[in-house]
Amino acid sequence: MDLDSIYQNIETEDVKNTGGPQIQSRSQDEGQTQKQRGRTCFVWMTVCLGIICVLLLVFIIVQHISITSERDLLSSYKNTAEEFNQTINSLQHKNTELALKKLKLEYELRKLYEHGKGMFFISSESKNWSESRQYCMDRGGDLVIIKNEVKQRYISSLVKERAWIGLTDIQQEGNMKWVDNSILSQGFWEETEPNDSGGEDCIEINPTSPVLNNWNDESCSSMRKWVCENVTSVPASS
């Protein structure tokens, strides 16, 4: 073997000895870089998924709040509509009742006007309450008893001056009783009456006051005209 061949072999060996590790190191670096990229990619995917999950959660919560609010609002509207309908029905019912009451009142008032003549007597002279009552009793009747609106309207239409009716609290102050001893259940008092001012125990109708508010308690000794009911004989002089 000559010298050139020996040198060539030495160089080839050197190349073989020095090239192997370099290639191995490069492929290890590439592997690590790929692993690093994989980890980075995984981290980003995880972050993205996390963000998507958070956004989804927020979306679901917002939707839930929105749906709950709308449901509450609808429920509120429904309740309001039901209350409104109930009010309308109630008003219609009351309106019907009032219309029927008015018809009944008109009918009974017309009946009284047609058949009431002769049932009641309005005096032309004046007496105190006891004398007035005695006058009616002497003729089979008594002072008038008024227990409903129809009769109140009718008697008020007959009375032109202040007149006694058959109501008094002379037996017990504040305990109003009719001459048939029944207790007063519905009164047609003037405003602020009865006031028992100075000891007033007998009741009169004041025709100058509104028809459903014209009663006043007055001193029983006052001289007034009077209204009898159910008298059987009416003298021409009174």
200 lines the binding site for Ca ion (CB under 5 A): yes
Task: Select the residue interacting with Ca ion from 123, 127, 136, 217 (CB under 5 A).
Answer: 217
Q: Does 201 engage in binding with Ca ion (CB under 5 A)?
A: yes
Count residues binding Ca ion (CB under 5 A).
8
Nearer to Ca ion, 217 or 229 (CB): 217
Residues 48-67 that bind Ca ion (CB under 5 A): none
The CA distance from 139 to 233, in Å, is 6
Query: Quick check: 163 and 123 in contact, CB under 8 A?
Result: yes
Please say which residue, 141 or 166, places its beta carbon nearer to Ca ion: 166
Residues 158-197 that bind Ca ion (CB under 5 A): 169, 193, 195-196
What is the footprint of Ca ion within residues 129-158 (CB under 5 A)? none
Compute the least distance from the CB of residue 170 to Ca ion, in Å: 8
Name the closest residue to Ca ion (Cβ). 196
Q: Does 221 sit near Ca ion (CB under 5 A)? A: no
Nearer to Ca ion, 150 or 216 (CB): 216
Q: C-beta of 123: minimal distance to Ca ion in Å? A: 21
204 part of the interface to Ca ion, by CB under 5 A: no
Q: How far is the CB of 222 from Ca ion (least distance, A)?
A: 11
Q: Is 219 in the site for Ca ion (CB under 5 A)?
A: no
Residues near Ca ion (CB under 5 A) are: 169, 193, 195-196, 200-201, 216-217
